[in-house]
């Protein structure tokens, strides 16, 4: 009896200690107190008015913009970026743009199994990535080619993955556009939506703990990208809540492009976008014009500073844009939205043309620059693509590796079983594309 009761007594003391720490003023309600001291909401004032909070009575969270669609800087507080940085960002956005056009067509010609473009969202990716440190860890969804490009992914890196050749670090196991890079600290993309969000929170906690153990490590953050559709998944909720309660140094970057495949945002949520939810989790939140690469860059730069305050704090950025492209090569978006709407967005405003106007006003970019750069990028991409297509595929035995750290005897047996089938029926299989052994 005694042995059993003892832990309980210890536990009760601990429990009341925690309560005192949480609500130091008092555990019980003081007579005449103006606000609640329930443990669940410590600063809530009492009211005699019975009133429901109406979402419609709150103004929509404003969208921060530094540069107007004509390329004019409108935020007086905004410090212009050095010309070279702006030019680099522009060329990276253009590069992704041209790669998208070429690879989309390549998929249409049957030279790739699948592709997803990121037209309209180059600004969010390039702008945010331009202020991340190389040591920061990135988790992406799949429409973040601009982040990869800005962080140093080469056209050959893209092409080797897209072609699933033997130079693909993913060993030809994953669908196209599921990029990853250890040296650039970018986790490999997986198809299930939103699963990376709680993982990113856990990774951020690891960075925080590593720095607590060894303060000489430079402080790092995690940046986690996802679309507004993915934010409906339970994993989004899980991640923001745990990142807040564990004070993780992380920036959640939501690309709100208006559509999740065919589903418009009206069928995705009824609140004020994704940003309004951040506040509910106790997370510092901002909404930004995703077509304004400078606004995204500035917002991310400040978010990174906040994320590192007090040992770690999550931040949510909702970057607004429009998905100009089809969802993927398996989707014809004109089945659910008007061609004119898309054309209108393309013409009216997009992140690439906006930055181009800025650079032209500055006098550092001309039609001639545009022409020669486009020609150069096109050539580089086509060459990387041709080389990647030429490469052999990895050896077939690759399919059995990396399930566990060491191959199990079950897998070894199955590998030999497949090998003997391939040997016994050589006419049934075309192995010419694969590298031997």
Partner 1 sequence: MHSMILRSFIAPTFQKMRHSYALQAFSSNALQSSPKARLNIPIDFSSTPILAHSAEDAIANPELKSELSSGATKRMNLCQSINDALSLSMAKDDSVILFGEDIAFGGVFRCSLGLLERYGAERVFNTPLCEQGIVGFGIGAAAEGLKAVAEIQFADYIYPAFDQLVNEAAKFRYRDGTHGRHAGGLTVRMPCGGVGHGALYHSQSPESLFTHIPGLRVIIPRSPLQAKGLLMSAISSKDPCIFMEPKALYRATNEHVPTEVYKLPLSKAEILKEGKDITIVSYGQPIYTCSAAISAAEVDFGITIELIDLRTVYPWDKECVLQSVKKTGRCILVHESMINAGIGAEVAASIQEDKDTFLRLEAPIMRVAGWSIHMPLLYERFNIPDVTRIYDAIKKIINY
User: Residue 128 and residue 253: Cα distance in Å, rounded?
Assistant: 9
**Per CB under 8 A, 395 contacts partner 1:** no
- Angle made by CA atoms 254, 220, 186, in degrees to the nearest 5: 55
User: Residue 281 and residue 92: Cα distance in Å, rounded?
Assistant: 35
Kindly state the smallest distance separating residue 229's Cβ from partner 1, in Å.
16
The closest alpha carbon to 323, from 268, 394, 244, belongs to: 268
Q: Which of 65, 111, 173, 302 forms a contact with partner 1 (CB under 8 A)?
A: 173
The answer to whether residues 240 and 281 touch, using CB atoms and an 8 Å cutoff, is yes
Kindly state the smallest distance separating residue 241's Cβ from partner 1, in Å.
5
# of chain residues touching partner 1 (CB under 8 A): 57
User: Which C-beta is closer to partner 1: that of 14 or that of 338?
Assistant: 14
Q: Which helix (H) or strand (E) holds 63?
A: strand 63-64
User: Which C-beta is closer to partner 1: that of 147 or that of 239?
Assistant: 239
User: Which C-beta is closer to partner 1: that of 160 or that of 256?
Assistant: 160
**Per CB under 8 A, 408 contacts partner 1:** yes
User: Which C-beta is closer to partner 1: that of 109 or that of 213?
Assistant: 213
Map residue 287 onto helix, strand or coil: strand
Q: Which of 69, 152, 170, 395 forms a contact with partner 1 (CB under 8 A)?
A: 170
- Which of 116-124, 272-280, 372-380, 398-406 is the region at the interface with partner 1 (rule: CB under 8 A)? 398-406
**Per CB under 8 A, 316 contacts partner 1:** no
> Token pair for residue 106?
């390549």
Of residues 181-240, those binding partner 1 (CB under 8 A): 181-182, 187-188, 190, 192, 195, 197-207, 209-210, 212-213, 234-235, 237-239
Kindly state the smallest distance separating residue 12's Cβ from partner 1, in Å.
10
> Token pair for residue 342?
């898309």
- Which of 23-31, 69-77, 401-409, 423-431 is the region at the interface with partner 1 (rule: CB under 8 A)? 401-409
In degrees and rounded to multiples of 5, residue 223 shows phi and psi of -110, 130
Query: At CB < 8 A and 24+ separation, what contacts does 333-338 make?
Result: 333/259, 333/262, 335/262, 336/262, 337/259, 337/264
User: Which C-beta is closer to partner 1: that of 39 or that of 169?
Assistant: 169
Strands 263-264 and 284-289: unpaired
User: Which C-beta is closer to partner 1: that of 146 or that of 198?
Assistant: 198
**Per CB under 8 A, 137 contacts partner 1:** yes
Tally Cβ neighbours within 10 Å of residue 368.
8
Kindly state the smallest distance separating residue 153's Cβ from partner 1, in Å.
13
Binding mask 1-30 for partner 1 (x = CB under 8 A): x-xx--xx--x--xx---------------
In DSSP notation, 344-381 reads HHHHH--HHHHHHHHHHHHTS--HHHHHHHHHHHHHHH
Q: Which helix (H) or strand (E) holds 319?
A: strand 315-320
User: Residue 85 and residue 103: Cα distance in Å, rounded?
Assistant: 27
Q: Which helix (H) or strand (E) holds 211?
A: helix 196-213
User: Which C-beta is closer to partner 1: that of 2 or that of 51?
Assistant: 2
Residues at the site binding partner 1, with contacts judged by CB under 8 A: 1, 3-4, 7-8, 11, 14-15, 137, 139, 168-171, 173-174, 178, 180-182, 187-188, 190, 192, 195, 197-207, 209-210, 212-213, 234-235, 237-239, 241-242, 245-246, 402-405, 408-411
């Amino acid at each position: 009896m005694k042995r059993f009761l003892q832990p309980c007594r210890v536990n009760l003391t601990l429990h009341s200690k925690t309560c005192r720490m949480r609500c130091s003023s008092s555990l019980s309600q003081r007579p005449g107190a103006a606000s609640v001291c329930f443990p669940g909401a410590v600063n809530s004032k009492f009211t005699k008015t019975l009133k429901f909070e109406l979402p419609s009575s709150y103004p929509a969270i404003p969208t921060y913009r530094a540069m107007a669609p004509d390329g004019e800087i409108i935020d007086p507080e905004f410090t212009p970026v050095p010309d070279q940085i702006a030019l680099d960002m522009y060329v990276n956005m253009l590069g992704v743009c041209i790669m998208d056009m070429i690879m989309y067509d390549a998929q249409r010609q049957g030279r790739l199994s699948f592709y997803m473009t990121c037209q309209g969202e180059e600004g969010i990716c390039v702008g945010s990535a331009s202020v991340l440190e190389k040591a920061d860890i990135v988790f992406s969804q799949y429409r973040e080619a601009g982040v990869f490009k800005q962080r140093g992914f080469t056209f050959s890196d893209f092409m080797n993955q897209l072609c699933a050749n033997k130079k693909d670090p993913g060993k030809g196991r994953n669908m196209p556009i599921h990029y990853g890079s250890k040296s650039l600290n970018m986790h490999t993309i997986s198809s299930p939506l939103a699963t990376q969000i709680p993982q990113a929170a856990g990774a951020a906690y690891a960075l925080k703990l590593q720095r607590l153990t060894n303060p000489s490590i430079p402080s790092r953050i995690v940046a986690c990208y996802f679309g507004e559709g993915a934010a409906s998944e339970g994993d989004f909720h899980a991640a923001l809540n745990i990142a807040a309660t564990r004070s993780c140094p992380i920036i959640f970057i939501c690309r709100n492009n208006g559509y999740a495949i065919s589903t418009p945002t009206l069928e995705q949520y009824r609140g004020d976008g994704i940003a309004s939810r951040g506040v509910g989790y106790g997370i510092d939140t901002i909404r930004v014009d995703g077509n304004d690469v400078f606004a995204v860059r500035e917002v991310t730069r400040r978010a990174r500073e906040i994320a590192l305050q007090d040992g770690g704090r999550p931040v949510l950025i909702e970057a607004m844009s429009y998905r100009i492209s089809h969802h993927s090569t398996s989707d014809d978006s004109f089945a659910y939205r008007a061609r004119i709407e898309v054309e209108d967005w393309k013409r009216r405003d997009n992140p690439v043309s906006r930055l181009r106007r800025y650079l032209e006003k500055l006098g550092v970019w001309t039609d001639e620059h545009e022409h020669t750069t486009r020609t150069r990028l096109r050539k580089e991409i086509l060459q990387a693509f041709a080389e990647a297509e030429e490469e052999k595929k990895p050896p077939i035995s690759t399919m059995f590796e990396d399930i566990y750290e060491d191959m199990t005897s079950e897998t070894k047996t199955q590998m030999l079983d497949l090998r003997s089938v391939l040997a016994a029926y050589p006419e049934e299989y075309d192995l010419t594309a694969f590298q031997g052994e």
